[in-house]
Homo-oligomer: A and B are copies of this chain.
């Protein structure tokens, strides 16, 4: 059981981190299966193989539990790589995004998110997760601008231009997004950003 005096995020790699990972992974699977409001803490504990009180004590707020779980899913399944080479990293990011969206859990989560948008709590949670991803992506773009790989750019526009086509293709089930697809998207978008930059 996770001790109250040791917040779950504190010791990466330790037992606490392992329990945290188990609980959040279980939560993702249950949200995907039963929706935001449809799963019970008991199910999380059972699926994670931890005591029920561990879940209650460490994530007394259901909304925060779901947000942490979705954030973890996003960071693990759809990382924002930084090898130092912008084009390669963006291509890898889009391939990661496609794989995450195409996965069984990704599809189920997407359904849940789409279907529950009227719910204020769900909306806030999803916004947090998107904001976290947008921040990571923004940091990656800032480093590219600092390195002179890109002109100063509207990070949100860039993010939407890159990931929009991937979301669309996966959403329409038009076969997997290949590396060649991702490269063409990245090449056109980067060329367009450079060509339209105001000096």
Contacts and interface: CB of A to CB of B under 8 A. Distances in A.
A7 B40 CA distance: 55
Most-contacted residue by chain B among A115, A123, A154, A171 (CB, 10 A): A171
A188 interface: yes
A50 interface: no
Contact of A185 (B115, B161, B185, B195): B161
Contacts of A115: 111, 115
Interface residues of A, number: 34
B189 A161 contact: yes
Contacts of A11: none
Give chain A's interface secondary structure class. Answer: helix
B171 A167 contact: yes
Interface in A107-135: 110-111, 114-115, 117, 123, 126, 130
Contact of A168 (B160, B188, B191): B160
B117 A114 contact: no
Nearest to A117: B173
Given A115-B111, A190-B192, A160 B171 contact: no
Nearest to A168: B164
3 shortest A-B CB distances, which residue pairs? A192-B192, A164-B164, A164-B165
Interface of A: 110-111, 114-115, 117, 123, 126, 130, 154, 157, 160-161, 163-169, 171-173, 184-185, 187-196
11 contacts: A111-B114, A157-B185, A160-B164, A160-B165, A164-B164, A164-B167, A167-B167, A167-B168, A167-B171, A191-B192, A192-B192
